[in-house]
Amino acid sequence: MSSPITAIPDQKKVGMVSLGCPKNLVDSERILTTLRADGYAMSADYAGADVVLVNTCGFLDSAKEESLEAIGEAIAENGRVIVTGCMGEEAEAIRARFPQVLAVTGAHQYETVIDAVREAAPATQGPYVDLIPQAFADDGGIKLTPRHYSYLKISEGCNHSCAFCIIPSLRGKLVSRRVDAVLREAEKLVAAGTKELLVISQDTSAYGVDTRHEARMWHGHEVRAHMTGLARELGQLRTPEGQTPWVRLHYVYPYPHVDRVIPLMAEGLLTPYLDIPFQHASPSVLRAMKRPANEARVLERIREWRAIVPDLTIRSSFVVGFPGETEEDFRYLLDWLEEAQLDRVGGFRFEPVAGAQANALPGHVPDEVKEERYARLMEVTERISAARLAAKVGRTLPVIVDEVGEPDEDGDIGATARSQADAPEIDGQVFLRNVSPALKPGDIIDAAIEDADAHDLYGVPA
């Protein structure tokens, strides 16, 4: 008599809603990679998920409201919800509004999140399946970005105490990853098809400060846990085709040693791009923000950087309407921007955030004044951006392809790409016409630039 056939239970499925910055996205990738190794499958919709994770952002009140709306939608659509991320630090507020959530954990509390999923939806399919090693992608983990670009998180937390920011209370003090671990991850990503590495942290310039820039062996030589040493090693990576991947630095505070990464850009080891959160230019506002206030020296350094790397792109963000900001302070900022000629600028209206020191400062700016200043800031920065992009018309630039369209009625195929001046999601794009049918996402080609507007470029393969 034959033995009865044992039915293998279906895999438990996890859905994920990831909000906020790229650092949160990396956290989501790590969580999902661990869950997949535990035998879970991923669900692309609410209906198919046994449990839904919402990775929240809690930096601004508007971001918190977006997170709460996402939690509410997940509960309405699925009902079994686990909350993690920055807003997870406000567990009482979340549970007060949504008492049915299964668990709430804080930022980068990976093990606690995994334990909560295991408790809510145990994954076992039985010993005959659980003992089989799980299949992984070439890079060893789940990616929530396209194959050709990847975020590379080098540290967590921040040692600054900026008056408007609550990141240290959400994510703690600076904790740097081992430099050999960062390089190993980068090497695997590039080997698996990544053409662009986006280096992220709360403070990239401070990388390794907490470990006293501890050195580790990497491919037979020592590398220090320092931004410049890490950047040089990342510039030595090569794709399987022998190309140098683009390496883009984000969240770079303008410490003196930033000057030492500019020559690496001149050598072609780094993408000529710096994302520097200046936040303001007025010395009095910067002091109130508890930010460095040597704005004149910053302008001089920008001129020096561009003398070494003429194609250097600088992106930044600025806060308008900070408590105590006067009209004179704001005009100072506009004049500074005219002098700095930054390529990409994001503007934010000051928002009081629970727990931020700035809330107690005098001189809060009325909302209508914030709106008026924000509009003026955007007008100036858009004009500067348009002029700098217009100067690229007639040039041939390397671009990385993000998407290739379908042929139109005339058989013409268009593509969406980015130049080295464009980080994904936050900067502009390069729209190409008459591309080859063989072109695919991740290809890096030369493009002849034919036209420009305030944010984007238009061209054709060279």
pLDDT in tens, 345-364: 999 898 887 777 888 888 89
Q: What's the pLDDT band for 247 if we cut at 50, 70, 90?
A: very high
Report, as an integer, the average pLDDT of 80-84. 93
Is the pLDDT assigned to residue 175 strictly greater than 80?
yes
> Which residues define the annotated binding site?
21, 57, 86, 158, 162, 165
pLDDT in tens, 324-350: 999 999 999 999 999 999 999 999 898
Burial profile 54-73: b = 16 or more Cβ within 10 angstroms, e = fewer: bbbbbbbeebbebbbebbee
pLDDT in tens, 26-62: 888 888 888 887 778 888 899 889 999 999 987 777 7
* Residue bearing the bigger pLDDT, 121 or 266: 266
pLDDT score of 231:
96
Domains and CATH numbers, the chain: 13-130 (3.40.50.12160), 149-390 (3.80.30.20), 396-461 (2.40.50.140)
> Which residues define the annotated binding site for [4Fe-4S] cluster?
21, 57, 86, 158, 162, 165
Is the pLDDT assigned to residue 98 strictly greater than 60?
yes
Report, as an integer, the average pLDDT of 219-241. 95
pLDDT score of 128:
47
Nearest to 61 by CA among 322, 279, 352, 371: 352
Report, as an integer, the average pLDDT of 384-393. 97
pLDDT in tens, 442-457: 999 999 999 999 999 9
> Among 110-114, 255-259, 363-367, where is mean pLDDT lowest?
110-114
pLDDT score of 239:
93
Q: What's the pLDDT band for 125 if we cut at 50, 70, 90?
A: low
To the nearest whole percent, how much of the chain has pLDDT over 90? Answer: 62
Q: Which amino acid is at 111?
A: E
* Residue bearing the bigger pLDDT, 395 or 170: 395
Max avg pLDDT among 167-171, 176-180, 347-351: 176-180
**Which pTM does this prediction carry?**
0.79
> Among 204-208, 289-293, 317-321, 457-461, where is mean pLDDT lowest?
289-293
Q: What's the pLDDT band for 134 if we cut at 50, 70, 90?
A: very low
C-alpha pair distances (Å), 70 with each of 28, 102, 393, 425? 15, 15, 42, 20
Per the CB < 8 A criterion, the answer to whether 302 and 340 are in contact is: yes
Q: What's the pLDDT band for 4 if we cut at 50, 70, 90?
A: low
CA separation for the pair 86, 84 (Å, rounded): 7
The DSSP annotation for 15-59 comes to: EEEE-SSHHHHHHHHHHHHHHHHTTPEE-SSSTT-SEEEEEE--S
CA separation for the pair 203, 286 (Å, rounded): 18
Pairing of strands 196-200, 246-249: parallel
pLDDT score of 141:
65
